Structure 1
Amino acid sequence: MKVKCKSKSAFVQPIGCMMLSIISGMGISPLVLAVPRQVSLHSPEQSAQRQPQKIAQASGTDTPQRSQLIQQANALYSQGDFKGAEENLRQFTKKFPEDAFGHFQLGNVLFQQKKSEEAISAYREAIRLKPKYALAYNASGMVYASQSRWEEAITEYKKALEINPNYGEALTNFALAMWQTNKKDEALSSLEKALNIFKTQNRGEKVNQVERILKEIKTADEPGVS
């Protein structure tokens, strides 16, 4: 999702558009549609991304029809056809109304189309079906953050981190919200934790991204830095 930089009030920290885009991109990572065999398991974070699909399979709902609908949605999403993916996933949730993963993925597609309230509703349904759905809480926080609804975003990120304290993307998103609400120390602390987690997981790209964000926040208050 592209982040639009609006004129900032005196109460909003001047973090750059580049950093906003990086953080949004980091949070988006679990939003990419994927079938289980397409995900390589290298870290706890990626394991968390696989978990909803594993649960659905274990519950006996991984029928050929279910797999086909997921794969179709994945193909449409990959092609950038978010409207088509939405239609596919609405069929999916109609046929499998108790499948939390389907509602979560529907929320992702709606978010890509900037249908914020509908996305929130889809994530809420996923959470209703699976209360410990950290990815859905983080995604909800991202929707609120995209609207600069920082306090609501913080609430969602906190819920995600209560479920999974080592959720690197949620820690990074939480840090941005802290920075935007003038809580620099909390932002830096959350980013440092995220950085250590990504290093432990050998996720070099994420490490580089967080280091860049840390640098921008640390230098934002220095004289001559705009």
Structure 2
Amino acid sequence: MLETSQQFYLIAAFVVVLGLTIFGFFMREGVATSNIYQKGVKLYQEKDYTGAESAFRNVLSRHPSNDMVHLLLGDVLMQQDKLEEAIAEFREVIRRAPKNVDAYLRLGNALVKQDKLAEAIASVEKARDLFKAQRNPQKANQIDQLLQQMIAQ
């Protein structure tokens, strides 16, 4: 039978090996996800929207809470005229991060493309209000100018 100190060292060694194994898994997963994300961005820049959509969906299957990828997926979907799906992505970001200005602006843009001007204006107004709350009057003024153009339509 092993002495108590030997048992302690075996347990400690096991815990260290287990911890390193788990760390290695997450490192490998993070690198793989990062590579897929970079591929999606590159495909988007090359205007391969179908490929970019696939890459971004792959990233989201691994990390569904990544708001930036939801926004990029929404952009890709808009480029493919999949407006309902894009709107769903933007609304998902807003639901989870209600102070995400980019989500409101992108949602407004998608709603304009659907000829839902009143909803688009409300979304852009929310973005403006968030900029004001963030004490960013320059951005709020830019949004006011955009709103004036939208209202004039």
Which TM class, normalised by the smaller chain length? Answer: 0.7 to 0.9
Please name the residue that 1:199 is paired with: 132
Task: Give the share of equivalent positions with the same residue, in percent.
Answer: 27
User: Is 1:61 the equivalent of 2:61?
Assistant: no
Max Rg structure: 2
Partner residue in 2 for 1:111: 44
1:135 equivalent to 2:135? Answer no
Task: Tell me, yes or no, if the aligned pair for 1:134 and 1:161 is still in contact at 8 Å.
Answer: no
Q: TM-score, structure 2 length as denominator?
A: 0.73
Matched, 1:96 2:34: no
Of 118, 142, 151, the residue aligned with 1:185 is: 118
Cα drift, residue 60 of structure 1: 6.6
Hey, which bits of structure 1, 4+ residues long, moved more than 4 A?
Answer: none
Per the alignment, residue 146 of structure 2 pairs with: 213
The one of the two structures with greater contact order (alpha-carbon pairs below 8 A, sep at least 6) is: 1
Any idea what the Cα deviations from partners look like across 1:172-196, whole Å, max 9, x if unmatched? 0101111221222211111111111
Structure 1 segments unaligned to the other structure (5+ residues): 1-58, 63-92, 221-226
1:203, distance to aligned residue in structure 2 (A): 3.8
1:150 match: 83
Decide which of 164, 167, 189 is 2:97's aligned counterpart: 164
Partner of 1:51 in structure 2?
none
SS at match of 1:96: helix
Question: Partners in 2 of 1:203 and 1:108 — Cα distance?
Answer: 28
Determine which structure has the larger helix proportion and give its number: 2
- Deviations 1:139-178, CA, capped at 9 Å, x for gaps: 1111121233322211211122222121111110101111
Q: How many pairs does the alignment contain?
A: 130
SS, match of residue 61 in structure 1: helix
Q: Are 1:127 and 1:136, in contact at CA under 8 Å, matched by a contact in 2?
A: yes
Secondary structure at the counterpart of residue 122 of structure 1 = helix
